[in-house]
């Protein structure tokens, strides 16, 4: 049996540390990163709460992937509503309002640790991310088990384990957010198309 590669060891070791926290939250957006994490997480931390933020303008493919994740991994994904009924998110100018950050705060309320799909390869702001970080803003531990994984690593794992993944990845979308302002692109360049935004506020 082959030994674990460095990035595989990072995934397992980081999730093992995360699992020590009784009040653990995994923020899930149904992308390839979340598929790989969920496949490992529930075996070591079945007590983890899996939460998604619903902006009300998710791609139909995201909703379908959500269903497939629940079926494959046997988990119920809890929802924090970030929809804006007064000013619907019809374009980048409405995207990632305080409602999305407020939804995150509700998701992690009472937790002492949370898990993300952040990878260093995604953009310059994430290039220095560490597997385990102290989230000063929320006074809790933040676990990034995929920090040293590449796109190639992710797709190899998905193929090996036949994991469900978001179909828009096959159409050139490396990162997938709201349907109103996400376009195909590598890294996170397809997010907030037409603006200079690089983060939605959840990780800054």
CATH number, residue 82 = 3.40.50.620
Per the annotation, the verdict on 96 as an active-site residue is no
% of the chain exceeding 90 in pLDDT: 64
- The three-state secondary structure class of 78 is strand
| Whether residue 188 has pLDDT greater than 70 | no
The strand ranges marked E within 132-194 are 132-135, 140-143
Average pLDDT of the segment spanning 123-147: 93
The answer to whether 25 and 108 have CB atoms below 8 angstroms apart is yes
Q: Which of the pair, 116 or 187, is modelled with greater confidence?
A: 116
Q: Let me know if residue 90 belongs to a domain.
A: yes
As for how many domains the chain has, the answer is 1
Q: Is the pLDDT reported for residue 126 higher than 50?
A: yes
Burial category of 71 from C-beta neighbours within 10 Å (exposed 0-12, middle 13-18, buried 19 and up):
exposed
Averaged pLDDT for residues 12-37: 97
What domain range includes position 58? 6-171
* Bridge-based pairing state of the strands 49-54 and 113-115: unpaired
Look at residue 105 and tell me whether its pLDDT is greater than 90: yes
Query: So what's the pLDDT on residue 200?
Result: 47
Can you give the pLDDT at residue 196? 57
Query: Is 200 part of a structural domain of the chain?
Result: no
Mean pLDDT, rounded, of the chain:
87
pLDDT at 1: 43
Structure tokens at 141: 């531990």
C-alpha–C-alpha distance, residues 82 and 64, integer Å:
19
What is the rounded average pLDDT of the residues 101-111?
92
7, 33, 170, 97: CA torsion to nearest 10? -140
**Active-site position among 95, 96, 178, 200:** 200
The answer as to whether 41 is a domain residue is yes
115 occurs within a structural domain? yes
Is residue 44 in a domain?
Answer: yes
In a domain, 156, yes or no: yes
In angstroms, rounded to a whole number, what is the distance separating the alpha carbons of residues 168 and 74? 23
91, pLDDT greater than 50:
yes
């Amino acid at each position: 049996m082959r030994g674990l590669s460095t990035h595989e060891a990072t995934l397992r070791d980081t999730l093992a540390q995360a699992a020590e926290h009784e009040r653990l939250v995994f923020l899930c957006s149904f992308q390839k990163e979340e598929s790989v994490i969920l496949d490992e997480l529930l075996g070591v931390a079945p007590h983890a709460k899996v939460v998604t933020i619903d902006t009300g303008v998710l791609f139909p493919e995201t909703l379908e992937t959500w269903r497939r994740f629940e079926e494959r991994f046997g988990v119920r994904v809890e929802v924090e509503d970030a929809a804006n009924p007064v000013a619907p998110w019809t374009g980048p100018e409405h995207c990632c309002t305080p409602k999305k950050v407020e939804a995150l705060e509700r998701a992690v309320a009472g937790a002492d640790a949370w898990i993300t799909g952040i990878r260093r390869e995604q953009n310059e702001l994430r290039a220095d991310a560490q597997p385990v970080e102290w989230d000063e803003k929320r006074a809790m531990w933040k676990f990034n088990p995929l920090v040293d994984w590449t796109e190639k690593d992710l797709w190899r794992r998905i193929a090996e384990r036949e994991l469900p993944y978001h179909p828009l990845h096959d159409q050139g979308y490396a990162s997938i957010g709201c349907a109103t302002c996400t376009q195909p692109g590598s890294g996170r360049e397809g997010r907030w198309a037409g603006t200079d935004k690089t983060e939605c506020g959840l990780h800054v």
